[in-house]
């Protein structure tokens, strides 16, 4: 398995948006709003330099971004539990310090990933819906 991280150039914008909007992936995010093509292109125009795409033998399988020290990470459903998330998180920590991630309490896979790599729970946030 040959994994590599590349800058999220415009040829990966569609992959990032489709992965983020995928119904299974979307369930793991706090903000579950579907992202339109127009808003995504505008967002990436300003933030793509903070995102990396993970390639497996040249095929995109996930992405990771850091905005204001907050990690945004997603792995394509076909590659979950194959070390892609671990690889991306390990790689991004080489370039950033003081990182954090907001994780839904029921997103056990993400909690396990971050704890495995030494992240510690710091806050509880309560909401009344």
Q: Residues 118-128: pLDDT tens digits? A: 999 988 888 88
What mean pLDDT value characterizes the chain?
93
C-alpha to C-alpha distance for 100 and 108, rounded to whole angstroms: 16
Q: Specify the CATH number of the domain 3-116.
A: 3.40.630.30
DSSP 8-state secondary structure symbol assigned to residue 63: E
Q: pLDDT value at position 27?
A: 85
Domain ranges of the chain: 3-116
Total Cβ atoms within 10 A of residue 109:
13
> Please, are residues 44 and 10 in contact by the beta-carbon 8 Å criterion?
yes
Q: What are the pLDDT digits (tens) for 34-44?
A: 999 999 999 99
78-84 average pLDDT score: 94
C-alpha to C-alpha distance for 49 and 3, rounded to whole angstroms: 20
Q: pLDDT value at position 115?
A: 95
Which residue in the block uniquely carries the two structure tokens 């459903």?
A: 77
Q: pLDDT value at position 127?
A: 82
Closest CA to 104 of 121, 86, 116: 121
By three-state DSSP, how is residue 75 classified? strand
């Amino acid at each position: 398995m040959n994994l590599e991280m590349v800058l999220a150039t415009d040829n990966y914008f569609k992959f990032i948006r489709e992965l983020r909007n995928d119904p299974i992936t979307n369930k793991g995010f706090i903000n579950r709003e579907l992202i339109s093509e127009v808003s995504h292109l505008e967002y990436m125009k300003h933030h793509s330099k903070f995102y990396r795409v993970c390639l497996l033998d040249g095929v995109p399988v996930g992405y990771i971004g850091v905005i204001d020290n907050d990690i945004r990470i997603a792995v394509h459903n076909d590659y979950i539990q194959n070390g892609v998330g671990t690889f991306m998180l390990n790689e991004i920590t080489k370039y950033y310090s003081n990182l954090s991630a907001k994780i839904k309490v029921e997103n056990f896979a993400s909690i396990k990933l971050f704890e495995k790599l030494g992240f510690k729970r710091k806050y509880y946030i309560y909401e009344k819906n």
